[in-house]
Amino acid sequence: MFAAYVIVTTVAVVFNGGAAGTYLIGHDYPKAQADMKRVPRSWVPVLGALLAAGTVGLLAGFAVPVLGVLAATGLVLYFTGALVAHLRVGSRQLVGWAVFFVTAVAALWVNVAHTW
């Protein structure tokens, strides 16, 4: 179980860290996604900061397991909000969302299993 915890959490860190980076450096893709979902562009850095906080929390969870659980929970909530944003505008382009959401749920599951 420990190997699954490390692997899944590391994959979640890589995915969310990469996404946070694209949001925080001002890449065009997050801006286009914000426009498509009718989210103000001023939210893009905030969303990137939330992803970065989740990433750092998952990493901190290796030292303090409860932080990993809290970070994974936050990421699940973040991607639940992303689904709402997609559905609100009628977007059916959910493959990317599904990959991130499943990764966040898996990270939550392994972090809870490892912690308790």
Average pLDDT over residues 65-84: 98
Q: Which residues of 36-67 are buried (b: 16+ CB within 10 A; e: fewer)?
A: ebebeeeebeebbebbbbbbbbbbebbeebeb
How do residues 41-53 score in pLDDT, each as one tens digit?
A: 999 999 999 999 9
How do residues 75-93 score in pLDDT, each as one tens digit?
A: 999 999 999 999 999 999 9
The number of distinct structural domains making up the chain is 1
- Record the pTM: 0.95
- Distance from the first to the final alpha carbon of the chain: 12
Tokens standing for 101? 């959401």
* Domain span including residue 78: 2-115
User: Which DSSP string corresponds to 32-63?
Assistant: HHHHHTT--GGGHHHHHHHHHHHHHHHHHTTT
Q: What angle, rounded to 10 degrees, do the helices at 95-115 and 65-88 form?
A: 160
How do residues 8-55 score in pLDDT, each as one tens digit?
A: 999 999 999 999 999 999 999 999 999 999 999 999 999 999 999 999
Tokens standing for 5? 């915890």
Residue with tokens 């992803």: 51
Spatial distance between the Cα atoms of 68 and 79, rounded to a whole number of angstroms: 16
Average pLDDT over residues 102-113: 98
Spatial distance between the Cα atoms of 30 and 50, rounded to a whole number of angstroms: 14
Work out the mean pLDDT of the chain and round it to a whole number.
97
Asked whether residue 56 carries a pLDDT value surpassing 90, the answer given is: yes
Confidence bin at 95 (pLDDT 50/70/90): very high
Asked whether residue 116 carries a pLDDT value surpassing 90, the answer given is: no
